[in-house]
């Protein structure tokens, strides 16, 4: 057991000055079987600490549920950090941003319509207390003064960019301390006077988040944190990507110089990210600053360790800088070898229409409910009603969240897309039959005032001036792909004409990281042996999905895709990732 404190000038470990050299690694974005590899590579680069957010909504997808198994086994992750001789910083939020679905806040929190968001409101605080106390059972015995790795716990996350409710921060501190946390508590904010003051309270040590102009920003931090160690607890060494944009990178030389400036000033650091990983499944977030912008599946972040766990030029540049301030290991991680490229073909397909009744329960409603109204907080939902038009008429929906494929009696009509601000679509002349909208939640907003908004069809629907009523709605249950697999077992052949599921089989000599090339398909989701790899879209910039070795196996492997539009039956694997074009 050791003692870790915030001293007048330094962090102090057992009474001696200690500089935190940390790297961010989100356990929920990395397959558990690859945690140890990533942690070890952080140590090889010269880091002494691993930092992670905790994604509340991942652990609690439904109210009353708290999952700490598999990829969410936070105790195992922290134990592996400790076993590698590293310290840990945990950031439980409750809000984390992280380009993660909803910023980590569970969507079920907001169903009442009256709950407060990131403020001292009774409904919100009751849920937060349940969450933090559940985490306390993991954190408390793993604090450094109990022989574990945890040296710091962060309160909230960049709160000064959102609010200024000091009573909320005090309530979080009280719950955290009452749950048994004894290590020092910190806050983080962007280094502007307004944010640093609004985002913290007396008794919490202020840290900053930035990725350039280190000396200038540390000086601003020092004005608002006059005593104790300086720390950049989010040193942005890269950035995230959005669908339809470009792949963001920063030069290793410039990032390394900013890191050197920071360390020469005597500050501690947490690299955000050391290893970004992947937003598997339906976990990517989104931004909406006037235009809705969902984030891609890859969270490579142009980090020192890339999405696949391989060292980059930035890894070498940072290691060289760190070697001036600490001892670094002699051994370097091996570069990534070319991945296998097995041949495969989609040999079985089944239309969504033929299997939809098996994928959930139909709900009836006079007017279209949101997905959240039905307790469905991610993925897809099918909306149906009957329509009859006279000549050419227009379908109007108040708001689409976030994208809908529209058809009449199974014949495609068009797409309504939130990012295009679509609310109306012309129907075929004299249309009569079943109007269907396959609605996709493309990721909940993770930053700003639109946190907590519901998904699906929002508001009223009409044709011309006539309201559309008598709706049937079925949220698709894709948590397990087993139901789809059974439907595919009963079919053969058929084009991948969406919306449809398709399956391919292929063989590997041994488990291996793969890169699934998605350029011959339109838009959809892919599963490898039942593991949800995430979303793909020809819009780019990302053109390959990372397939972690732990999701593959020696011998037969199964790939299932849910294709919304249509694509080739050929399955292509690439020897290397392709995250898209750069800005220049």
Closest CA to 241 of 294, 203, 204, 188: 294
Phi, psi of 70 (to 5 degrees): 55, -125
In angstroms, the CA 579 to CA 543 distance is 6
DSSP-H helix ranges across 475-553:
482-489
H/E element holding 411?
A: strand 411-417
In angstroms, the CA 206 to CA 230 distance is 8
Determine whether 12 is an active site residue: no
- The angle at the Cα of 576, spanning 575 to 578, to the nearest 5 degrees, equals 135
H/E element holding 13?
A: strand 11-13
Distance, C-alpha 230 to centroid of its chain: 29
CB within 8 Å of 10: residues ≥ 6 apart: 17, 18, 19, 229
In angstroms, the CA 134 to CA 535 distance is 31
H/E element holding 560?
A: strand 555-563
Catalytic residue among 51, 129, 158, 348: 158
Determine whether 453 is an active site residue: no
CB 505 within 8 A of CB 496: no
In angstroms, the CA 215 to CA 262 distance is 6
Closest CA to 463 of 433, 439, 427: 427
Q: How is residue 362 written in tokens?
A: 């139909």
SS (H, E, C) 256-275: HHHHHHHHHCCCEEEEEEEE
Per the DSSP assignment, residues forming a β-bridge with 294 are 286
In angstroms, the CA 509 to CA 493 distance is 27
Cβ count within 10 A of residue 1 = 9
Instruction: Using alpha carbons, list the distances in angstroms from residue 211 to 158, 208, 258, 272, 532.
Output: 15, 10, 7, 9, 32
Catalytic residue among 80, 99, 234, 440: 234
Burial of 111 (0-12, 13-18, 19+ CB in 10 A): middle
Cβ count within 10 A of residue 162 = 22
Closest CA to 342 of 515, 135, 539: 515
**Is the C-alpha dihedral spanning 25, 480, 540, 408 positive or negative?**
negative
Burial of 550 (0-12, 13-18, 19+ CB in 10 A): middle
Instruction: Using alpha carbons, list the distances in angstroms from residue 579 to 237, 305, 444, 511, 576.
Output: 17, 15, 22, 23, 10
CB within 8 Å of 183: residues ≥ 6 apart: 4, 143, 144, 145, 150, 151, 152, 153
Tell me the catalytic residues.
158, 234
């Amino acid at each position: 057991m050791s003692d870790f404190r915030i001293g007048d000038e330094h962090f102090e470990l057992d009474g001696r000055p200690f500089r935190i050299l940390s790297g961010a690694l989100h356990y929920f974005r990395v397959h558990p079987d690859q945690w140890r590899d990533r942690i070890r590579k952080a140590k090889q680069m010269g880091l002494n600490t691993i930092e992670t957010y905790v994604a509340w909504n991942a652990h609690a997808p439904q109210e009353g549920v708290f999952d700490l198994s598999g990829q969410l086994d936070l105790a195992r992750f922290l134990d592996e950090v400790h076993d590698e001789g590293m310290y840990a910083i945990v950031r439980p939020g409750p809000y984390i941003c992280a380009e993660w679905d909803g910023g980590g806040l569970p969507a079920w929190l907001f169903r009442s319509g009256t709950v407060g968001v990131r403020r001292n409101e009774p409904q919100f605080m009751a849920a937060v207390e349940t969450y933090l106390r559940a985490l306390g059972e993991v954190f408390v015995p793993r604090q450094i003064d109990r022989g574990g790795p945890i040296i710091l716990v962060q309160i909230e996350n960049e709160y000064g960019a959102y609010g200024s409710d000091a009573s909320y921060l005090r309530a979080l501190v009280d719950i955290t301390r009452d749950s048994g946390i004894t290590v020092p508590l910190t806050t983080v904010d962007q280094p502007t006077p307004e944010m640093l003051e609004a985002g913290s309270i007396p008794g919490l040590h202020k840290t900053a988040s930035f990725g350039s102009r280190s000396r200038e920003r540390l000086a601003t931090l020092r004005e608002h944190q006059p005593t104790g160690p300086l720390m950049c607890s989010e040193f942005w060494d890269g950035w995230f990507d959005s669908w339809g944009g470009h792949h963001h990178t920063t030069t290793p030389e410039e990032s390394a110089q900013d890191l050197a400036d920071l360390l020469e000033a005597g500050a501690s650091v947490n690299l955000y990210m050391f290893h970004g990983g992947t937003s598997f499944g339906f976990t990517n977030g989104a931004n909406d600053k006037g235009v809705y912008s969902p984030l891609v599946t890859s969270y490579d972040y142009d980090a020192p360790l890339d999405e696949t766990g391989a060292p980059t030029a930035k890894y070498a540049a940072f290691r060289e800088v760190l070697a001036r301030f600490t001892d670094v290991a002699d051994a370097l991680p091996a570069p990534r070898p070319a991945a296998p490229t097995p041949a495969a073909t989609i040999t079985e397909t089944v239309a969504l229409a033929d299997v939809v009744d098996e994928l959930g329960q139909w709900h009836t409603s006079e007017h279209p409910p949101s997905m959240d109204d039905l307790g469905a907080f991610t993925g897809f939902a099918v909306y149906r009603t009957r329509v009859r038009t006279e000549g050419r008429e227009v379908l109007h929906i108040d708001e689409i969240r976030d994208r809908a494929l529209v058809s009449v009696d199974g014949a495609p009509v068009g797409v309504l897309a939130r990012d295009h601000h679509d609310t109306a679509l012309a129907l075929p002349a004299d249309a009569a039959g079943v109007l269907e909208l396959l609605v996709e939640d493309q990721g909940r907003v993770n930053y700003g005032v639109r946190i907590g908004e519901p998904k699906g069809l929002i508001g009223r629907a009409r044709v011309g001036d006539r309201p559309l009523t008598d709706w049937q709605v079925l949220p698709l249950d894709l948590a397990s792909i087993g139901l789809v697999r059974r439907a595919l077992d009963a079919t053969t052949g058929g084009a991948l004409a969406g919306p449809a599921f398709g399956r391919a089989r292929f063989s590997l000599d041994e488990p291996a990281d793969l890169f699934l090339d998605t350029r011959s398909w339109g838009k959809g989701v892919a599963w490898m042996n039942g593991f949800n790899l995430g979303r793909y879209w020809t819009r780019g910039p990302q053109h390959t999905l990372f397939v972690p070795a732990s999701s593959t196996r020696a011998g037969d492997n199964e790939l299932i895709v849910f294709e919304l539009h249509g694509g080739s039956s050929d399955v292509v694997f690439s020897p290397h990732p392709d995250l898209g074009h750069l800005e220049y």
